[in-house]
Structure 1
């Protein structure tokens, strides 16, 4: 991954990366509403306006469910269109732009992801009410022997790659291992 831009004033980073026989991806990582607006404007102009079927990949990472008294919500919003990806740290953002709300609530755009219903639900505390979400695990035929294929499984099958999912850090298993060592 090559880091190309770092502007501390706007708290945004832009990366270009290539992976396994694929074209370069541009990743915009930000917590600024203004950069989200710019990303939306660019992908609409470059990709979505001319498309007969408007499709955007959507995924979220959530706040810690173990914090007492706090409703779990989206912490990071990830959107992908063609080779453009936005990683928006919505939990630390200066604001959630109305343009982002309008974009995610646009019924002419299909927002696709794996188990996307939970992502849509966790965006509601931010004032975002998406009604055009499609769960790829239910729409795309299962190419694996697993009961529910992961998004990696679906992507690898569809685009012919062998991308691997990172192993998630399991805090409980680490604590158990540390206790056993004592």
Structure 2
């Protein structure tokens, strides 16, 4: 890791990471409005212009061995090209409809 910087926002942060000559932008947030901006930006900048649309997705869950009966999603992490979103979904102010539509989009 060569560089790690963040934009000063209270419950959202943007990190710029450079590793092995690759540059990544990582947006970490709890805010639905930031999620919506991220989705609109990656659609505009990457997905709309390509014939094959690919989004990486990772999800982290609570540990069922910690006494919880129902596992819950803690973090949802979609990635497009060099743009990454880390949504701390269990603490988010809301799950925006645009995110639900994005995850259900059959063209991706």
User: Which bracket does the TM-score occupy, shorter chain normalised?
Assistant: over 0.9
Change (3 A) 1:27 1:69: closer
Alpha-carbon distance, 1:65 to partner: 1.0
User: 1:20-35 maps to which residues of 2 (within 5 A)?
Assistant: 20-22=20-22, 24-35=23-34
**C-alpha separation between the residues in 1 aligned to 2:53 and 2:19?**
24
Q: Is the 8 A contact 2:12 2:29 kept in 1?
A: yes
Q: Paired residues, what number?
A: 106
Larger proportion of strand? 2
> Which 4+ stretches in 1 moved above 4 angstroms?
none
* Aligned-CA RMSD value: 1.2
Which of the pair has the greater relative contact order for Cα pairs under 8 Å at 6+ separation? 2
Q: Name the residue aligned to 2:19.
A: 19
User: 1:159-170 maps to which residues of 2 (within 5 A)?
Assistant: none
Deviations 1:91-121 (A, max 9, x none): 1101100000000000111xxxxxxxxxxxx
Q: Name the residue aligned to 1:4.
A: 6
User: 1:79-90 maps to which residues of 2 (within 5 A)?
Assistant: 79-90=78-89
Which structure has the bigger radius of gyration? 1
**C-alpha separation between the residues in 2 aligned to 1:12 and 1:3?**
13
Q: Name the residue aligned to 2:97.
A: 98
**C-alpha separation between the residues in 2 aligned to 1:62 and 1:4?**
26
Q: Is the 8 A contact 1:48 1:54 kept in 2?
A: yes
**C-alpha separation between the residues in 2 aligned to 1:96 and 1:47?**
23
Alpha-carbon distance, 1:69 to partner: 4.8
